[in-house]
Amino acid sequence: MSEVAEKIETRVALSAKVAKFIGQKRKLLIDGKWTEAASGKTFEVFDPATGQVIAHAAEGDKEDINRAVKAARFAFEKGPWSRMTPSERGKIIWKIGDLILKYQEDFSQLETLDNGKPINVTRGADVPLAADMFHYMAGWATKIEGSQLSLSVPYTPGQSYHAYTRREAIGVVGQIIPWNFPLLMAAWKLGPALAAGCTVVLKPAEETPLTALLLGEIMIEAGLPPGVVNIVTGFGETAGAALSGHMDVDKIAFTGSTEVGKLIARAATGNLKKVSLELGGKSPNIVLEDADLPAAIAGSASAIYFNQGQVCCAGSRLLIQQNIFDEVVEGVSKIAKSIKVGAGLDTQTEMGPLVSTIQLDRVSGFLKSGKEDGAKALAGGNRKSGAGYFVEPTVLVNTTPNMKVYQEEIFGPVVTAVPFKNLDDALVAQANDSIYGLAAGIWTKDVGKVHRLAAQIKAGTVWVNCYNIFDASLPFGGYKQSGWGREMGAEVLKNYTETKSVCIGYSTE
């Protein structure tokens, strides 16, 4: 087992704003006011790099969800939000993006502290992408359009119809988000809901409640009216379940495990609220023999190791053409061994800890089961000793399709590498041999193979000669058990609007 080395001199010092923020007990945001949980309970927030408690957050449950839904309902039906012009709403959404950038360093530090991911990643990806989501969605507020339709019904002589559709905000939305990209997931959810004119109750993950609460503060600063966004921190089984089962919530949007996604869908049947789900994955990343190998090797390593492998679309099944198998696997293993694992606040760190002891146990369990089943680790294979929830970047070979490590989502820095012979149906069958269908990667210079594979792979996103490219304009979501609906782009607005047909009869005589 290797030790986690931490260089004190390259460690980022916390800003005064962040130090103050974590020093105070964090409250719930309900109807524009910061309030304690009705029960008065709080829960501890941990630094995954040390296992130490860094903050305390209010433990909201059913009663708080009820209060928050009531505030969101009032804001939707009676408040200024739904009466504002789309342009006025767009300006506020844009301002939220601006303020995220204004406090970029505070958000970056807070996210790194809470989730564990490297500060270079929060500064370079999580926070700017979150700002961009609000900026992008601000523009949609003024562009949600219905259409005018030509009817062909055999109508009464002397009578004609003018028909059109209206796209209206769906209403009060419940949003339940995970801990792997806490701020960014809040942005993916809130941006489009606000652009559509909805009001929201957001439940952040219990592992990482902090940046969503800071976002709550800046949304008030941006001028968002009370009750439009309510934030209830707390646990899934209590606060989350109360939100997904609430009879006065019109729509629930969830990102997290497939297991909980199914619970949400069931909980939604009470009032048949609309549901969108962004769930797990076991995404194939395919390297063909004609690929630019250095790029494919570096890209395949980053496809699995980015964010400690805690990415729903991680390229966790590396499928490599047989004649280049050794070269690619050795290349990825070499990168895995060279990755600097350490505390996220150290600017030299390339990979941080996993988010929690539960995830550490889960990923360690997969490593153990892989070993027992006969898989071989060419790199890594163990957790790291000492404090914090660190796991070594791992490459597994000699896996077979019946192994747990091959089939199930590990959600850690662990890739299984498997050879394939040629580009026949077997490869497509192999790539599609999963209950999931979130993403896929293809590395090749042959455009014909790109088109063939891109069409045949059952996944919501196919990256070619790149991986993990996300953009506010690119729809993202899953086939099969990876989910329902799409996030981002114009597509996501369908999740937050209802289409109303209006048909007006008039006399032509």
Chain residues binding ligand NAI by CB under 6 A are 176-178, 180, 203, 205-206, 235-237, 240-241, 244, 255-257, 260, 263-264, 278-280, 312, 362, 409, 411
Give the residues across from 34 on adjacent strands: 29
Q: State in angstroms the smallest separation of the CB of 416 from ligand NAI.
A: 15
**Closer CB to ligand NAI, residue 268 or residue 296?**
268
Name the catalytic one among 59, 278, 409, 487.
Answer: 278
Q: State in angstroms the smallest separation of the CB of 394 from ligand NAI.
A: 15
Tokens 């970047």 belong to 393
The token pair that represents 489 in the structure block: 């782009």
Exposed, middle or buried: residue 9 (CB in 10 Å: 0-12, 13-18, 19+)?
exposed
Asked if 32 contacts 220 with a C-beta cutoff of 8 angstroms, the reply is: yes
Per DSSP, the three-state class of 505 is strand
Per DSSP, the three-state class of 187 is helix
**Closer CB to ligand NAI, residue 57 or residue 279?**
279
**Closer CB to ligand NAI, residue 107 or residue 411?**
411
Measured distance CA(350)–CA(118) in Å, rounded: 6
Active site includes 313? no
Q: State in angstroms the smallest separation of the CB of 241 from ligand NAI.
A: 4
What is the H or E stretch that residue 438 is in? none
The token pair that represents 24 in the structure block: 């105070």
**DSSP, residue by residue, 373-404:** HT-EEEE--SBPBSSS--B--EEEES--TTSH
Q: State in angstroms the smallest separation of the CB of 204 from ligand NAI.
A: 6
Pairing, β 439-443 against β 461-464? parallel
Measured distance CA(271)–CA(38) in Å, rounded: 25
**Closer CB to ligand NAI, residue 122 or residue 497?**
122
Active site includes 278? yes
Q: State in angstroms the smallest separation of the CB of 336 from ligand NAI.
A: 20
Q: State in angstroms the smallest separation of the CB of 357 from ligand NAI.
A: 12
**Closer CB to ligand NAI, residue 244 or residue 495?**
244
Q: For 159, phi and psi rounded to 5 degrees?
A: -125, 135
Q: Which of 123, 111, 244, 124 minimizes the C-alpha distance to 186? A: 111
Asked if 177 contacts 276 with a C-beta cutoff of 8 angstroms, the reply is: no
Measured distance CA(443)–CA(360) in Å, rounded: 31
**Closer CB to ligand NAI, residue 307 or residue 444?**
307
Q: Report the residue count for the chain.
A: 509
Q: State in angstroms the smallest separation of the CB of 322 from ligand NAI.
A: 30
What is the H or E stretch that residue 14 is in? none
Q: For 31, phi and psi rounded to 5 degrees?
A: 55, 40
Q: State in angstroms the smallest separation of the CB of 16 from ligand NAI.
A: 30
* Category of 234 on φ-ψ map: left (φ > 0), alpha (ψ -120 to 50) or beta: left
Which residue is nearest to ligand NAI, using beta carbons? 236
Name the catalytic one among 312, 313, 392, 487.
Answer: 312
The token pair that represents 229 in the structure block: 């966004």
**Mind telling me the catalytic residues?**
278, 312
